[in-house]
Amino acid sequence: MTQVSTAPVADNNASNLPPIHAQSTPIVLTIAGSDSGGGAGIQADIKAMSATGSYACSVITAITSQNTQGVSAIFPIPLDHVASQLDAVFTDLNIVAVKIGMLADSEIIKVVAEKIKQYQPKHLVIDPVMVATSGDLLLEQSAISTLKQTLIPLADIITPNLPEGAALTGKKVPESEAEMQDMIEDLRSLGAKSVLLKGGHLEQDENSNDLLILEQSSTLFSAKRFPTKNTHGTGCTLSSAITSFLAQGNDLTQAVNLGKQYITQAITHADELKVGQGHGPVNHFFAGHSDVG
């Protein structure tokens, strides 16, 4: 495969994110499920997009009864309600970039894919949400093939974690960086223009390493791992930040680098929030981010 270059991410306590310019705020859309606990899903997406300088609008695909300890119920939104929301935002707002998260089932995936083809946003980021931080299933098993066939080929980038990568490829969950590189070739074959395989589940590693594969290049983004149980919504937050930075004119590698910086600092400051009794959320509006806004 293409030789991998390494892009070290800024120190956890440093803030190198670009300043926000309100007069040119781009509009971004999140299509995802609602998390009643506010740590993941639509709520995390809007926080991350706002904190990184974009205007966020939303389409809700499912309502989850959820807190820091788990998911107790999932209520998919009726298909015509999902379609109506999509038509409402796309026919009025100048949406530059779209992030897709939890889609719940095959029929919702098909509706979203149809609308993405109809409205053709400039950037499409897909976070193939399948399992919550608590371990609860968020996507029906039967819907994985629909996701692979209808939506992933439309994406500029997909951002699976290691268990999601395993579900998409049929491989076992990687236990090393070498196995990550082996898996990412299969992920590329699904048709997305690029793949960011997140290595946060390799907990034996001192760093949290994410591997980005573009058509002609590969980059490893590495950041010091911060010891905390408060990692609820990390995948939602990272993919939303990438979407925001793409909408602001950054290329894919720059957007991923900035997104990785943002999530690293949000995790570093997560313990300051003290939310819930389980896996708490990251700190989207962390104190060290005072130069943004």
Pairing of strands 157-158, 123-126: parallel
Residues 181, 175: contact at Cβ < 8 Å?
Answer: no
Residues 208, 223: contact at Cβ < 8 Å?
Answer: yes
Give the Cβ contact number of residue 205 at 10 Å.
14
Residues 104, 73: contact at Cβ < 8 Å?
Answer: no
Catalytic residue chosen out of the listed positions 38, 41, 233, 259: 233
Catalytic residue chosen out of the listed positions 169, 236, 259, 268: 236
* Residue 233: active-site member: yes
Residue 113, CB half-sphere, CA atoms under 13 Å: how many?
A: 17
* Residue 236: active-site member: yes
The angle, 0 to 180 degrees and rounded to 10, between the axes of the packed helices 162-169 and 177-188 is 50
The angle, 0 to 180 degrees and rounded to 10, between the axes of the packed helices 41-51 and 234-247 is 40
* Residue 61: active-site member: no
Catalytic residue chosen out of the listed positions 47, 115, 198, 260: 198
Catalytic residue chosen out of the listed positions 159, 219, 231, 243: 231
* Residue 231: active-site member: yes
Catalytic residue chosen out of the listed positions 39, 101, 200, 235: 235
Catalytic residue chosen out of the listed positions 30, 61, 169, 234: 234
CA distances from 213 to 41, 157, 205, 236 (A): 25, 9, 21, 20
Among candidate residues 10, 91, 89, the one with its CA nearest the CA of residue 42: 89
> Which helix or strand (DSSP H or E) is residue 125 part of?
strand 123-126
Tell me the H-state helices in 137-278: 143-146, 162-169, 177-188, 234-247, 252-268
Question: Which residue numbers are catalytic?
Answer: 198, 231, 233-236
